[in-house]
């Protein structure tokens, strides 16, 4: 299984499991079957409906056939958070390289370049040689296709670190999601970085901005550790949060702003 390792502007390495090429091909075939089934259904309806004199109904039916072929992948990925029907079946999705959710512009750029990727299998060749699971559309958009099959919830990886008598101090942490909390954990993990304490302080400020409230007198590092424990305790009951950090390009990576 290939992995993508990206170092952000905070010197945090984000590790993604790239979707296997076989899963991508199967997902593509499943999506093609969905479109073919739709076309067959439309032609069956056209055969059952008597044509009108001015041909308007025919044009409408043809539009209902053509538009899904043109916009299927764009609409599906926007609607299903980076997945199509085939991708959902194979448990893969479109993701930014820094682990975040792609923007509309990134989805649009992937879609615009899809015909070029399909021309003489250019996209397949690019995927095989670039090592990050990216076709041309992904390279341009800063995205890739990642696997969700072996993802372990953060709460499971941190459960052993949670005291049995833990008391929650910051219930607002449910506004965070696993990706954000993983970043917090990585920031705390390696104190040998030259800019470690500045990074801890900046991360604490950002977390406080996202979840609201005050730190209750805690310094940056104890505050972040408490946030981690509270998150694990609460997400075991409530599920992951829905907030998101906003990324800003700075020095070639994505920084917190």
Q: Could you read off the pLDDT of 138-183 as tens digits, one per residue?
A: 999 999 998 887 554 555 555 545 666 778 888 888 888 777 888 8
The answer on 186 and 113 residing in a single domain is no
The answer on 127 and 29 residing in a single domain is yes
pLDDT at 183: 85
Q: 101, 117, 147: which is the final residue of a domain? A: 147
Q: 112, 147, 182: which is the final residue of a domain? A: 147
SS3 238: helix
Number of domains in the chain: 2
Task: List pLDDT tens digits, range 10-37.
Answer: 444 455 678 899 999 999 999 999 999 9
C-alpha dihedral over 148, 100, 88, 63, to 10 degrees? -160
pLDDT at 100: 75
The answer on 165 and 116 residing in a single domain is no
114: its two tokens: 């899809």
CA angle 197, 175, 163 (to 5 degrees): 65
Q: How far apart are CA 40 and CA 65, in angstroms?
A: 9
Identify the residue with better confidence: 101 or 94. 94
Share of the chain above pLDDT 70, in %: 77
C-alpha dihedral over 123, 252, 92, 88, to 10 degrees? -100
Q: How confident is the model at residue 46 (pLDDT cuts 50, 70, 90)?
A: confident
- Residue 163 gets the label, from left (phi > 0), alpha (psi -120 to 50) or beta, of beta
The answer on 94 and 19 residing in a single domain is yes
The answer on 95 and 143 residing in a single domain is yes
If one counts every other C-beta atom within 10 angstroms of the C-beta of residue 97, the result is 22
Q: How confident is the model at residue 241 (pLDDT cuts 50, 70, 90)?
A: very low
pLDDT at 255: 34
Strands 253-256 and 247-250: antiparallel
pTM recorded for the entire structure: 0.58
The answer on 118 and 162 residing in a single domain is no
Please say whether the beta carbons of 158 and 233 come within 8 A.
Answer: no
Range of the domain at 236: 154-256
Q: 147, 164, 184: which is the final residue of a domain? A: 147
pLDDT at 45: 87
The answer on 174 and 69 residing in a single domain is no
The answer on 44 and 13 residing in a single domain is yes
The answer on 130 and 210 residing in a single domain is no
Q: What is the mean pLDDT of residues 191-216?
A: 85
C-alpha dihedral over 49, 52, 57, 62, to 10 degrees? 80
Q: How far is CA 121 from the centre of its chain?
A: 25
The answer on 24 and 130 residing in a single domain is yes
Phi, psi of 212 (to 5 degrees): 80, 180
Dihedral of CA 129/130/136/138: which sign? positive
pLDDT at 168: 85
Strands 92-96 and 143-147: antiparallel
The answer on 71 and 9 residing in a single domain is yes
Please say whether the beta carbons of 241 and 177 come within 8 A.
Answer: yes
């Amino acid at each position: 299984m290939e992995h993508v390792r990206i170092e952000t502007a905070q010197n945090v390495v984000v590790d993604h499991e790239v979707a296997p090429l076989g899963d991508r091909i199967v997902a593509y075939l499943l999506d093609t079957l969905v479109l073919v089934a739709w076309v067959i259904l439309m032609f069956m309806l056209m055969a059952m409906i008597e044509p009108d004199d001015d041909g308007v109904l025919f044009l409408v039916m043809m539009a209902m056939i053509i538009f899904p072929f043109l916009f299927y992948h764009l609409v599906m990925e926007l609607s299903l958070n980076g997945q199509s029907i085939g991708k959902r079946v194979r448990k893969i999705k479109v993701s930014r390289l820094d682990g975040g959710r792609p923007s509309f512009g990134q989805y649009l750029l992937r879609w615009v370049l899809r015909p070029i990727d399909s021309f003489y299998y250019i996209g397949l060749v690019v995927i095989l040689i670039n090592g990050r699971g990216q076709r041309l559309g992904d390279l341009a958009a800063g995205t890739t296709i990642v696997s969700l099959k072996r993802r372990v919830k953060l709460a499971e990886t941190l459960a052993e670190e949670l005291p049995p008598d833990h008391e929650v101090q910051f219930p607002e942490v449910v506004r965070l999601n696993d990706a954000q909390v993983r970043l917090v954990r990585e920031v705390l993990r390696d104190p040998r970085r030259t800019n470690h304490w500045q990074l801890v302080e900046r991360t604490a400020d950002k977390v406080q901005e996202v979840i609201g409230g005050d730190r209750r007198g805690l310094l940056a590092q104890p505050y972040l550790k408490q946030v981690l424990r509270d998150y694990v305790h609460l997400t075991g009951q409530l599920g992951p949060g829905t907030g998101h950090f906003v990324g800003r390009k700075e020095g070639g990576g994505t920084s917190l702003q």
